[in-house]
Structure 1
Amino acid sequence: MGHQATATDLSNPYGNLRKSLSIEVPGEGPLQTFYYDLPEGFGNQYSKLPYSIRVLLESAVRKCDNKVVKTIDVERIASWATTRSQDVEIQFSPARVVLQDFTGVPAVVDLAAMRDAVVKLGGKPENVNPVCPTDLVIDHSVQVDFYGDQMSLEKNQDLEFERNHERFAFLKWGATAFENMLIVPPGNGIVHQVNLEYLARVVFTKSIVNNELTLYPDSVVGTDSHTTMINGLGVLGWGVGGIEAEAVMMGLPMSMVLPEVVGYRITGNLNPVVTSTDVVLTITKNLRQLGVVGKFVEFFGPGLANLSIADRATISNMCPEYGATCAFFPVDSITIQYLRQTNRDERDVALIEAYLRKTLMFRDTDDENLIFSEVVELDLTTVVTCLSGPKRPHDRVNLTDMKDDFKSCLVNKIGFKGYGIPQDKINLTLPFTFENNEYTLKHGSVLIAAITSCTNTSNPSVMLGAGLLARKAVALGLRVPKYIKTSLSPGSGVVTYYLNESGVIDDLQALGFDIVGYGCMTCIGNSGPLVDEVEKVVENSDLVCCGVLSGNRNFEGRIHPLLRANYLASPLLVIAYALAGRVDIDFEKEPVQGDVFLSQIWPSRDEIRACETQHVIPSMFKNVYSKIQSGNPRWNELKIEDSALTFNWSSESTYIKRPPFMDNLEDSPDTDLIGSVCLLYLGDSVTTDHISPAGSIARNSPAARYLSGRGLSPKQFNSYGSRRGNDEVMARGTFANIRLVNKLCKDASGNVVAGPRTLYIPANETMDVYDASMRYAVESPTTPLIVLAGKDYGSGSSRDWAAKGPQLLNIKAVIAESYERIHRSNLVGMGILPLQFSNGETAETLGLTGLETFNIVLKGVLKPKAVVDVVTSTGKNFKTIARIDTDVELEYYRSGGILPFLVKRIASQSS
C-alpha cells in the first residue's frame, strides 16, 4: 500500500484532501484508488473523535459544495468536542437506503404518485428516480398460518403470494420502472439479516467519481427502526420514516442535529450459560434508564474482543428499544473475519481494510483516548439469563425472578407491569379439548412460542444453541403440547443451511419448530390465528395468556390480539417455555417436564461454539446469495403489465391506490390553529403500533366496513401492514389498535376504557376514531384537530403511516411530553406540528380534560424550537416548544410536508 500524489477536486472546498492511494489486491496486484485524507486535514482533533462521528465528517467533506452541504457543516462536525451539546444543525448524505415491503410499498406508491404530480406540473416523470442506491427486501408479508409440520413453509409461502399478488406485481413493476433500485423477492430472509450478510458494503469499493475509483464508508438509512442492526458490522445507519427515506432516495441530504455520543465500554467475558440475547436485554434496560433518545451510542473497550459480529448485531438491532439513534461498533479485525466468513469478495475485503486503516476508521485495541459525551460501562461477567416483558422491551426480568414477577404483574394495577386481576380470579383455570386430549388454560399459559425476528435469527450462537437444547430435550422424551403455536422463521437461507448441516433441524421439528417462512412474521404481528379451541376459551375470559418470542417488540396488541403478555427471550428460552407450557415457573426449582430440569438440557457456550465453527462456513453464504434474485419461482412467474414510466392505477384495486398527499401543492403560511379540538387524549409510551397497527383487521372496524363494501370477505382482509398502499384502508386503521387507551372514553363509572374509540365532543357521543374525524370534517370542516399525549409518543417501529394516517384524519398538531426521534420527524414530514410541553408540565399537571378548545398561536413566532403559546377555552394557558428542530424541517412543514416539497423541487428542475 503506497500513498501517491494528490488528486485535488477543485469543485470541493476540501478538494485538496482528495488523495490517491495504491492498494495491493490479492491476485490482482496494485490498484489505484482515491479517498479523502481526513487525518491530514483535521489532525489530532480528528483522532479523538468517536468513530461514528468520523463517518459523518467524511460524508460532509466528500459532499461539500457550499450549496447543499456547506463548510460550516464540516467545521461543526470536526469540532464535535465543543459543538456536541450546542444543538447545531448539520447535513448528512447517507450512502444508500434500505426498505422492507411494509414500508417499501408505500414508498414506491409515493414515488409513482410523485411522477404523476411532476407530469401535471410540466416536468419529466423519469426525473423522479432514486439517486441514492436503494435496496428493498420483501420480508414482512409472510404469516404463520400453518405450523408444526414440514409442509408449513410451502403452504405459508403459497398463501403469501395468493394474498399479496397485487402488491408484489406492483413492486416488480417498480423494479423495472425505477433505476438504482434493487428489489429482493420474498423468501430470501429478513431485510436486516440480508443487509448484514449480503447488501452491506462496509466501504464503497466500486464507486466511480470523475472517472476514478473513490473509496468512502458505507452508511445507510432504512424504513425500519431496526436498520441499526448494521451498526454491528461497522456501518453507520439507523431507521427513518418512509417519507424521510424518500427524500434521501431523491438526493436530498438529511438535516439533523449533531448528536451527542455515549461511549459504552465493554469489559470481561460472558458466563458459560449466558447468551447474546441476555446481553442485549441488559443493555436495553440500562440505556433506557440512562436516557439516550436522539444520541449515538458507540461501543469500545477490551470486552469487544469477546463479542462476535453476530453478538454485536444483536446488540445494535435493539437500539430503538433503548431509544438511541444508532449503536455503533467500529470495524476491527473481527469485522474483517466476518466479511471473509460471509464470502465477501477478497478484492473488496482488501480495499476495505486498507482504506479504513489509512483514514483511522479501523479500530485497534487502544481506543481509550476517544472523547465521548459520557461513558457507561458493562462487565459481561455480571450478565445473567433474562427475559423482557410483559409489555415493553426494556422491562427486563431475571430468569430466576420470572415466576414471582409474573404473579406480581397479575395483581398490580393496570399498567406496563400490571393487569389488575381481582384476587378471586387469580387461580382461574379453564378446560378445553384439542385433538381428543383434555387441557386447561390459566394465567401464564404459553400459547405462542416463536423463534422469529432479525434480532436473534442472525446469530448462529443462539440459533444453534436452540437446536442443541432441542436435541437434548428430544433425547429425554420431552415434547411441546400441540395447541401451542410453535414456529421458526429464519432471517436468511444461511440459517437453514447450518441447521441442516449440524443435524439439529430434525430435533427442532420434533418439538414443533418447523421452518414456517423467511421473514419477520410473529414479531411484526404476522403470528396468524391460534387454534379455534384455544381462541374460544381466551376470547370469553380475562385470562392473561402469553407469547414467548426471540424478537424485539412485545407491545400490547402487537404479537396477537388475544395474548395480553409477551416476553422477549433467547431462542433457547423460547423452546424452554414452550416445553413448560407456562411462564410462571422457577426453572431452578421446578422441572421443565416430568423430572427433567432446564440445566440438564441447556448447552454450554463451548458446545455451541464448537458446533458453529464446524458448520457455519463461507460456501453457505455463496450458495444462498448467488440465487437471491432468481431463486423464487413464484416471483419469477409473476406477470406485470408493462414497464411504463408512470403507473397505471386501477380503481378496482384494494391494495394499491394513488395517495392524496400531493393533491395540494400550495405552500401554507404559519396559520394559527384557532378553536382546535382534541380528537384523542393519550398517555405515556403510545407506540406507532397503537397509532397505525400492522396486524389483523378487526371485523367490526371502519377498515373492515370499507373492504366489505368493496366486496371482500373477512378472510380476504389480510393485514393493515399489507394494505399500506391504500390510503382508504390506512386512514380507517389509524388509532385502530384494540389496546389503545384514550382518556376521552370512559364507562358509566368514569373509568377509562381501552379500545379504538373516541368521544365526538359536540354530541358527547362515543364512536370509532375514523368516524369521529370524518364527522368533524363534515359538521365543522374548519376546526383543527389535535392529539394530547404523554412521554415517548410514537415509540416503536419507524412507521410512516403513523404520521400519514393522522394527516388524513385532519390532525394538525400533537402536544406531548416527549417524542421518539423517528416519529417526531415523520410528523413534520407530513405537515403535522409536534409541540412539546415545557417547564416539566403535563396535560395532567395543567388539569386538562381534553374537552377544552385550544388556540395555538403560530404567526410570527414559528421557527426551530420556538416557544408557542397555547390558550385554552377554560383559561388554562401554557407554553410549548415547537419540535421542528431544523430550518430544513421548517421548510418541509411550510410546504405541507416532504412529498409536496420534493414534487415542486423536481418539477422546477425538469420543466
Structure 2
Amino acid sequence: MDSFNTKSILKVKDRNYVIFSLKALSKINENIKYMPFSLKILLENMLRHEDSKYVSKDDILNLIDSNRTKKLQEIAFFPERVIMQDFTGVPAVVDIATLKDAIYALGKDPSEVDLSVPVDLIIDHSVQVDKYGTIKALEYNLGREYKRNIERYELLKWASLSFKNFRVFPPNAGIVHQVNLEYLGEVVKVKKIDNEEIAYFDTLIGTDSHTTMINGLSTLGWGVGGIEAEAVILGEPYYMKIPEVVGVRLKGKLKEGSTPTDLALSITNELRKHNVVDKFIEYFGPALSYLSVPDRATISNMSPEYGSTLGFFPIDQQTLDYLELTNRGHLIDLVELYAKHQGLFYDNSYEPVYSKIIDFDLSVVEPSLAGPSRPQDKIVLKNMKRDFYKLLNQGVESKENTNIDIASTDEFLKDMKAGETRVYNGKKFVKIEFENEEFLLADGSVAIAAITSCTNTSNPFVMIGAGLLAKKAVELGLNVKPYIKTSLAPGSCVVDEYLQKSNLLPYLEALRFHVVAHGCTTCIGNSGPLHPVIEEVVKNENLVVASVLSGNRNFEARIHNSVRANYLASPMLVVAFAIAGRVDIDMTIDPLGVDVNGNKVFLKDLWPSSDDINNYIHTYINKAIFSNKYSNIFIDKIWDKLPVKATDLHQWQENSTYIKKAPYFDNFEIDIKPKSNIGNARVIALLGDSVTTDHISPAGKIPKDYPAGKYLIYNDVEEKDFNTYGSRRGNHEIMVRGAFGNVRLKNFLVGPKEGPYTLKFDQKNIEFIYDASVQYKEEGIPLIVIAGKEYGSGSSRDWAAKGPKLLGIKAVIAKSYERIHRSNLIDMGILPLQFQENQDYKTLNFDGSEVFFIKGLENLEPNKLLSVTALKSDNQKVEFDVIARLDTPMEIEYYKNDGILSFVLRKLVK
C-alpha cells in the first residue's frame, strides 16, 4: 500500500531507483522536515511496509506527530537485517532448531521454520587469553578456541548450511561490531523486487547490546534480546513504542591530550544523569565536523552504558569519507543523493524538534577512566589515586593514603623478604618471587592490562596513539612487569596491518602487548587465568588488585573473579598504567618509572601529540588495507574442514555438555491458558540497585564448587575443560544452574555473604539459589525477585531471562528496568513489575521473608496497576500497587502466550 503516494524514482547517474519519498510526504505534512533524523528512518521503513495489517495509515501519521503530541504509541518496525555473535547466536540457533522439532512433532513441515531476513553471525566472543606476552599467542589461542568450542561451531556451521539467509563469519575475523562498521554497513541498501531496484535506509537489530555502534555510521540499529531477534528472524515485526528522541548538541573541540575514549566516558557519565533509558539519543551541532566516524562509533558504542536505545549520528561528509576509506566508495553517490532527497543529509542549517536538548562541550573533556565496577562512574585521571584509596577504605576518603611519600614507602619495605606481607598506611604489600625475580604485589597493583573490545579498537586515533606511546617508552628503556597479564586484541584485522606498516607493533610487543586474538577477550570476561603465583597471593592475602582495559564493561567479577577493581580507559592509558604497574597513582604529577639513566619519566614525556597521531593515520591507513583484509574474511582452513552437512532437523547428541534441545516447548499446548494471579510466592533474591545481566547470568569462569561446575564434574568434564558460562549457553542444564551465579552477587537475604546463595524458607537454610529453586518447584511454590533501580543493565543477555524462567521465577518487582532486559523477561513469560514512585522494599519494610500475592492479571492492559499483598511472618499484611511494565498490546500478547517463542509456534501451527 502507498496511501500517501510517496513511491517515486531517484536517478543516480545512469540508474533509476524506486524510493518511498519523504520529500513527497512533506508536502502533505511540513512537520516532517523537523523530525529527528532517526525517526525519519523509521518513517521511511513504515511507508515501505504499509499494509494495513502491521502498518496502517494512522500509524504513519502518529509517528510524524509523535515528538509534538507526545503520543508514544506502538508501531511495527521491520529491520532489514540481524547481526549476532556466537554467545547469543548459539542459543538462538538451539531455539530455532528446537522450534523445527516442535513443528515436526505437531505434524507440520519443519522447512516452514526458516529465516525471513538476512542474518550475519560473527564468532568473536569465545576466544580466551590463554597465552600472552609472546608472538605465538594468536595462533595458540585460536587453536585452543577451536578445541574448546568444536561442538558449538559445528552447530553454527550446520545452521549456515541448513537455514537460508544465515551467514557465519569464522573465528578470528574480528569483533561483530567492527565487522559491521567496516564491512557490513551500507547506510543505504538496494533490493531488487519484480525488476525494480528499491533503495532504502539500512536498518538492523543485533543480539548484542553494542550493536548501537553502527549508529556512528548513520545506520539505525540497536541491541535486542536474542529471543526478540528470533521472532524477527522468523518473520515477525519488531514492536516498539515510538521512542522519545533526545538531542545532544555537541560544540567545541577536544583539547590536546584528550582522546575519543575520554569523550565517550564523559558523555556516558553525563547522559546517565538525564535518565535516557528507552530513549533515542541523536547527536547534532557544530562539533560533528570534527568527529570522524570511528570517533562517533566510539560514542555510539557506549549507548547501553549511558542507558539509551541508541546514539545516532546523521549522514554528512564524514560518513561519505569513511565509506571511501573502507573500500565502499561505490555507495557514495547513492548515499549522498538519497540522503539529501529524504532530508537526512546533515548541514547544521536547522535543528530538528527534540523532546529535550542537552548541551555538551567537547573542550571541557579531560583524560579519564571509569570504574571500579560501572562504566558510568567517570574518574578524571588526576583523581585516580584518591578514588582508589576511597575504594580501599570502603568509601571513606583518606588524605593520609594519597599523600604517601614514595621514598618513605621504599624505606619501610626495603628489607622485606619473599613471601612476607606488610601493611603501610592502610595498603597491603606482599613480596613475591616471579620468574626468578622479586616484586612487590600490593593493593592497587595492575594484574591485567588489556587493549580490548569493540569500543576503542576500531578507532585509529587511540590505537596509533597507544603505539606511539609505547615507542617512546621503549626508547627510554621502560618496561612492564612480567606478572601483569598484558594483551592486544584488535577488533579488526585491519588494525594489525596498520600497526605493522607503521612499525609500531614491535614497540607494543616490547611492552608485552602482543596480538592475542581478534575477538572480545577481556572485555567479555575471557581474560583467561592469572598466573598461579599471582592468583594464590591475591586470594590468600585478599589483595585488591586492578585491571585496566580499553573496554566498555567493568561490572563486578566480569573481567576476572579475583580482580576486584576494574577500570575502563583509552588504549593509550592502558599502556601507561601497565608501565606504572599500579592504579594508585596521579599520572599528572607522579612518575611512571625511570629511564635507563635513572631519570624519572612522566606521562607527559610519553604522550604523543594529536598532530603526530594524525600524521601516522594519514600515512599508513588507506582503502587498500580494508580491501585486502575483507576480501578473504570468510576463508578459514579449520572452519572449512568441519564435517557438517545440511539437514532439515538438527541431530542432537545426548551426551553433549554444550548443546541440548531447549525445554521451552515441552508439554506444549496449542491453546493459550489464561493467566492466573500469582499467589503464595516466595522471594528467591532481594537485590539492590544496578544489578546487571552479568549478576543474573555471568559469562565468565565456572567455579567448580557452584551448581554448574558440579553438574560438569558429574558429567565427567574436567575443570580445565569447563570453558565459560558464555560458551555453555547452548546447554540449559548448565545455564539454569548458573542463574544468579555471579561470585559478587549481593542477595540481601543472606548478606553480607556474596555469591549465588539464598535463604530457603521455611527451613531458614542458606542454599545455592538453584538448589533452593528445585525444592520450591517440588513444593509448588512460585518465586519472585525484588530489586532496586536499573535492574538488568548491561548486556542483552537472554539467559538472564531464560535462567530465571527455568528456576520458576514468575515475576520481578523493581524500582526501574533497563530496556532490553525488561523485554527479555516478557519474552520468556516473566512479569516485570515496577514499584510506584517513592516506594521500594525498604519504604515498605520488607526483609524478603514475606509471602506475596499478586492480583489483577485477568484483564491486562498496558501499564495496568496490579495489587500486591505481602504477608509477613506475624500475619501482618502490607498492601501496595505496582505498575505492570507490559508497555504495549503486543507485549501483553507475548506475556499471555508465556513468551514470544510460544507465540510464534502457535502462529506457525495455526
TM-score, L = length of structure 1: 0.95
* 1:35 partnered with 2:35: no
> Residue 597 of structure 2 aligns with which residue?
none
1:230-629 aligned within 5 A? 230-346=214-330, 348-368=331-351, 370-413=352-395, 426-594=426-594, 595-629=600-634
Post-superposition offset of 1:211: 2.5
* 1:154 partnered with 2:139: yes
Q: Counterparts of 1:128 and 1:427 in 2: how far apart (Å)? A: 60
Preserved contact between residue 489 and residue 520 of structure 2 (Cα < 8 Å): yes
Encode CA deviations 1:676-714: one digit per residue, 9 max, x unaligned: 111111111000000000001001011111111111100
Aligned partner letter, 2:723: N
Q: Counterparts of 1:294 and 1:624 in 2: how far apart (Å)? A: 37
Post-superposition offset of 1:349: 2.2
Q: Secondary structure at the match of 2:152?
A: helix
Q: Counterparts of 2:94 and 2:56 in 1: how far apart (Å)? A: 33
Q: Secondary structure at the match of 2:140?
A: helix
Encode CA deviations 1:796-853: one digit per residue, 9 max, x unaligned: 0000000000000010000000000000000000000000001320011100111010
Q: Counterparts of 2:396 and 2:40 in 1: how far apart (Å)? A: 46
Q: Counterparts of 2:434 and 2:714 in 1: how far apart (Å)? A: 36
Equivalent in 4, 27, 31 of residue 45 of structure 1 = 31
> Residue 848 of structure 1 aligns with which residue?
846
Preserved contact between residue 253 and residue 362 of structure 2 (Cα < 8 Å): yes
Preserved contact between residue 244 and residue 826 of structure 1 (Cα < 8 Å): yes
Post-superposition offset of 1:107: 0.6
Encode CA deviations 1:110-158: one digit per residue, 9 max, x unaligned: 1111111111222221121111111100000100000000000000000
Encode CA deviations 1:495-534: one digit per residue, 9 max, x unaligned: 1110011000000000000000000000000000011110
* 1:65 partnered with 2:51: yes
Post-superposition offset of 1:67: 0.6
> Residue 93 of structure 1 aligns with which residue?
78
Post-superposition offset of 1:413: 4.2
Preserved contact between residue 62 and residue 71 of structure 2 (Cα < 8 Å): no
Equivalent in 176, 197, 201 of residue 213 of structure 1 = 197
Change (3 A) 1:279 1:615: same
Q: Secondary structure at the match of 2:389?
A: helix
- The runs of 5 or more residues in structure 2 that have no matched partner are 402-421, 595-599
Change (3 A) 1:158 1:755: same
1:484-883 aligned within 5 A? 484-594=484-594, 595-630=600-635, 632-640=636-644, 642-666=645-669, 667-746=672-751, 752-778=752-778, 780-781=779-780, 783-874=781-872, 875-883=877-885
Aligned partner letter, 1:123: K
> Residue 5 of structure 1 aligns with which residue?
none
Post-superposition offset of 1:345: 4.8
Change (3 A) 1:863 1:844: same
Q: Secondary structure at the match of 1:744?
A: coil
Encode CA deviations 1:50-89: one digit per residue, 9 max, x unaligned: 1000011111111010011222221111112323x33311
Post-superposition offset of 1:651: 0.1
Preserved contact between residue 36 and residue 282 of structure 2 (Cα < 8 Å): yes
Q: Secondary structure at the match of 1:122?
A: coil
Q: Counterparts of 2:337 and 2:169 in 1: how far apart (Å)? A: 30
Q: Counterparts of 1:377 and 1:401 in 2: how far apart (Å)? A: 25
Preserved contact between residue 776 and residue 782 of structure 2 (Cα < 8 Å): no
Q: Counterparts of 1:681 and 1:217 in 2: how far apart (Å)? A: 45
Q: Counterparts of 1:52 and 1:785 in 2: how far apart (Å)? A: 40
Q: Counterparts of 1:724 and 1:639 in 2: how far apart (Å)? A: 22
Q: Secondary structure at the match of 1:215?
A: strand
Preserved contact between residue 88 and residue 208 of structure 2 (Cα < 8 Å): yes
Equivalent in 3, 19, 23 of residue 13 of structure 1 = 3
Preserved contact between residue 343 and residue 618 of structure 1 (Cα < 8 Å): yes
| Larger displacement relative to structure 2 (557-566 or 581-590) | 581-590
Post-superposition offset of 1:873: 1.1
Aligned partner letter, 2:879: N
Change (3 A) 1:425 1:401: closer
Preserved contact between residue 673 and residue 784 of structure 1 (Cα < 8 Å): yes
| Larger displacement relative to structure 2 (712-721 or 668-677) | 668-677
Deviant stretches of 4+, over 6 Å: 422-425
Post-superposition offset of 1:357: 1.2
Post-superposition offset of 1:273: 1.1
Preserved contact between residue 681 and residue 743 of structure 1 (Cα < 8 Å): yes
Encode CA deviations 1:143-195: one digit per residue, 9 max, x unaligned: 00000000000000000000000000110000000001111111010000000
Aligned partner letter, 1:208: K
Q: Secondary structure at the match of 1:292?
A: coil
Encode CA deviations 1:367-421: one digit per residue, 9 max, x unaligned: 33x1011111111111111100111001001101111111112113499xxx9xx
Q: Secondary structure at the match of 1:297?
A: strand
* 1:202 partnered with 2:187: yes
Post-superposition offset of 1:588: 2.1
- The runs of 5 or more residues in structure 1 that have no matched partner are 1-10, 25-29, 747-751
Preserved contact between residue 122 and residue 907 of structure 1 (Cα < 8 Å): no
> Residue 6 of structure 1 aligns with which residue?
none
Encode CA deviations 1:598-618: one digit per residue, 9 max, x unaligned: 101100111100100111100
**How many residues align structurally?**
874
Q: Secondary structure at the match of 2:158?
A: helix
> Residue 413 of structure 2 aligns with which residue?
none
Preserved contact between residue 411 and residue 423 of structure 1 (Cα < 8 Å): no
Preserved contact between residue 89 and residue 886 of structure 1 (Cα < 8 Å): yes
What is the root-mean-square deviation of aligned Cα atoms in Å?
Answer: 1.4
* 1:78 partnered with 2:64: yes
Preserved contact between residue 757 and residue 769 of structure 1 (Cα < 8 Å): yes
Preserved contact between residue 67 and residue 245 of structure 2 (Cα < 8 Å): no
Post-superposition offset of 1:259: 1.1
Post-superposition offset of 1:427: 2.0
Identity of aligned residues (%): 49
Q: Secondary structure at the match of 2:749?
A: strand
Preserved contact between residue 388 and residue 396 of structure 1 (Cα < 8 Å): yes
Post-superposition offset of 1:328: 0.2
Equivalent in 37, 42, 48 of residue 56 of structure 1 = 42
Preserved contact between residue 211 and residue 223 of structure 2 (Cα < 8 Å): yes
Encode CA deviations 1:298-324: one digit per residue, 9 max, x unaligned: 000010000000000000000100000
Q: Counterparts of 1:673 and 1:94 in 2: how far apart (Å)? A: 36
Aligned partner letter, 1:846: L
Preserved contact between residue 665 and residue 896 of structure 1 (Cα < 8 Å): no
Q: Counterparts of 1:545 and 1:423 in 2: how far apart (Å)? A: 15
* 1:895 partnered with 2:880: no
Post-superposition offset of 1:424: 8.2
Post-superposition offset of 1:196: 0.1
